[in-house]
Amino acid sequence: MPQIRPEALEATLSRGIPAITWIHGDEPLLVQESADSLRKAARAAGVSERLVFEVDRSFKPEAVAAEANALSLFSASKLIELRFGGKPGKENGEAIAEIAERLDDSVRLLASSARLDRVVTDSAWFTRIERAGVVLPIYPVERRELARWIAGRLARQRQRTDAATLELIAERVEGNLLAAHQEVSKLGLLFPEGDLPAEAARAAVLSVARYDAFDLVEAMLAGDRNRALRSVQGLRAEGEAPPLVLWSLADAIRSLLKLHAARQAGQALNQAMRAARIFGPRERLFEGALRRLPASVCETALQQAAQTDRIAKGVHPGDVWHAIERIVLTLSGVPLPKES
């Protein structure tokens, strides 16, 4: 069966629980909710026994095979969960694929992991997993979609609010879906169903922004100068290490330069993206930045990053956070005066 989107999971499960469902992504809230939906469907289908295996260095796939083949005295059916702490290895993957292909109808598998890269998803054993069941990739909710996502969450609890309040919540949570979920749940407790009183709802929203270097890179690639500068200020206030922030910025700039070089050489953009290990929603971000930023601007930004690295190491005088802001402004298309 081909990959499905989270919104299609309920309809898929209504037709029966697949032999194996593999959920992977970097949004813990959405991964957990999707797994909960499958557990709920399994219970409704009569599955009453649930076993959980942590897939780490001590994991033995033969233990899963034994459970899959064992008859239970207490339950006619069972759900076996596999929780991957790291990247699935070939040996474990092949063993799980074989188990999934031979499952009795009374046993179902649920695997969950962090985002899988192309090395895994293009492998022969993972293709067998896809044929045996369902694969559900979870992608981050992009910043421009966050207000609509929040509106959808409010609708689940029969509440509505205006666009300004939705945008305020989106701005305050800065892409942290768990924080957004908590804020929406709080509004459900504080106010009745229907239209939320705008002023009271906004006052109830806490500033729960969680900044990280990857959010900064996303804002920078999108050309969102104000959001990027807010991220820099938040990272500084939260005591983030400047070298980590700088590494993330420089890595994105080098990737942009690789894409420019590949395009100049006549290489297809999707092929260049794969070579640069740019996948999923990040493809669109880099594609937009590539159109917006000429190679000369990227080269200037990379030179600024090298200078900022010297400041961070104490080799050159200056404020490292001010230097990071200059990189962000350069990639936002803001002309800067030369520093003496």
Q: Is 183 in the same domain as 122? A: no
Q: Exposed, middle or buried: residue 306 (CB in 10 Å: 0-12, 13-18, 19+)?
A: exposed
Token pair 């759900």 is found at 79
The domain tally of the chain equals 3
Q: Is 154 in the same domain as 132? A: no
Specify if 322 maps to a domain: yes
Of the pLDDT bands very low, low, confident and very high (cuts 50, 70, 90), residue 253 is: very high
Q: Is 22 in the same domain as 92? A: yes
Specify if 337 maps to a domain: no
Q: Is 11 in the same domain as 109? A: yes
- At 161, which CATH number? 1.10.8.60
Whether the pLDDT of residue 184 is over 70: the answer is yes
Q: What is the pTM of this model?
A: 0.62
Residue-wise pLDDT tens digits, 27-80: 888 988 999 999 999 999 988 888 999 888 889 999 999 998 876 555 578 999
The two tokens of residue 19 are 């032999």
Q: Exposed, middle or buried: residue 65 (CB in 10 Å: 0-12, 13-18, 19+)?
A: middle
Range of lowest pLDDT (54-68, 93-107, 267-281, 287-301): 267-281
Of the pLDDT bands very low, low, confident and very high (cuts 50, 70, 90), residue 305 is: very high
Which of these three, 204, 229, 250, is where a domain ends?
Answer: 204
Which of these three, 138, 157, 188, is where a domain ends?
Answer: 138
Residue 20, helix vs strand vs coil: strand
Q: Is 74 in the same domain as 88? A: yes
Whether the pLDDT of residue 340 is over 50: the answer is no
Cβ 106 vs Cβ 16: under 8 Å: no
Which of residues 74 and 147 earns the better pLDDT score?
Answer: 147
Percent of the chain with pLDDT over 70: 94
Which of residues 133 and 333 earns the better pLDDT score?
Answer: 133
Whether the pLDDT of residue 336 is over 80: the answer is no
Which of these three, 204, 231, 257, is where a domain ends?
Answer: 204
Give the span between the Cα atoms of 145 and 165, in whole angstroms: 15
Mean pLDDT estimate for the chain? 87
Per the structure, the complete domain to which residue 241 belongs is given by 213-331
Q: Is 220 in the same domain as 324? A: yes
Distances (CA, A) of 179 to 150, 193, 198, 206, 210: 11, 21, 20, 10, 9
Whether the pLDDT of residue 183 is over 90: the answer is no
